[in-house]
Amino acid sequence: GNFKALFISFHGSIGAGAASTVIRPPPPPPQHQSYYGQYPTPSPPPSSSSSYGPSGGGFPAGTSPDVIRAFQMVDRDRSGFIDEYELQQALSSGYQRFNLRTIRLLMFLFKNPYDSLRIGPMEFAALWSCLGHWRAVFERFDRDRSGKIDLMELRDALYSLGYAIPPSVLQLLISKYDNGLNFDSFVECGMIVKGLTEKFKEKDSGYRGSATLSYDSFMSLVIPFLVSYD
């Protein structure tokens, strides 16, 4: 299902003929040094190992054999690329079976620059590593070992990842889950926060915590994270 609100506060309005909208995210707690928390900036892609597939490129050097095996098991045509259904199957071997909305968010955020509908070994390895990090965070804040986290645990988990989310946004994130978030739901929520933050940073070239966007640019930035694929 869709999240029912946009996760960015508007300051100003869009009137008839208005050319742009100024958007300001809520400021972080004082101990944060920027509007974007401390989540690490993605580093340049590592060098690849021996190539796999005719066009999919190679896995990063040092990739776990388990990760390579998970990819190869679902890439039955040996093209070097896998689609969303194959990704869903591959991740189920190492994590769990994610719903397709979460899978499509992952595909969008770990996009192959040459094929938006499939990912190759480089993207798969980065995605797998990211999920491993988020799994460790989820387990650390699932203090009662219920397999789910509640509102406050979600707040603490996202904060540990560098995202100081205001209470109003937390309520929106968790409102669709009556009994807490399992790991699938946590990844879905977290990837929306991560993705929107990264997309906003691209527009905020001065790192001031604000940006001026045209209406079209704003909609193009936000809509991919809100559209329901269910």
Domains, in order of start, for the chain: 21-41+145-226 (1.10.238.10), 48-132 (1.10.238.10)
Looking at the predicted structure, is the pLDDT value of residue 14 above 60?
no
- Using CA atoms, how far apart are residues 203 and 198, in angstroms rounded to an integer? 9
pLDDT at 140 > cutoff 80: yes
Name the residue among 223, 224, 218 with its Cα closest to residue 203.
218
Residue whose structure tokens are 């940006």 = 211
Q: Are 140 and 132 in contact (CB under 8 A)?
A: no
16 residue type, one letter: A
**Could you tell me what percent of the chain has a pLDDT over 70?**
73
Tens digits of per-residue pLDDT, 186-207?
999 899 899 888 888 888 888 8
Question: What is the band of 84 on the pLDDT scale with cuts at 50, 70, 90?
Answer: very high
Q: Tell me the one-letter amino acid at 152.
A: M
Per-residue pLDDT at 40 exceeds 80 = no
Task: Kindly give the interhelix angle for 65-74 and 84-92, rounded to the nearest 10 degrees.
Answer: 140
Bridge partners for 48 per DSSP: 60
- Give φ, ψ of 181 to 5 degrees: -110, 130
How does pLDDT run across 99-135, given as a tens digit for each residue?
A: 999 999 999 999 888 888 899 999 999 999 999 999 9
What is the pTM assigned to this prediction?
Answer: 0.72
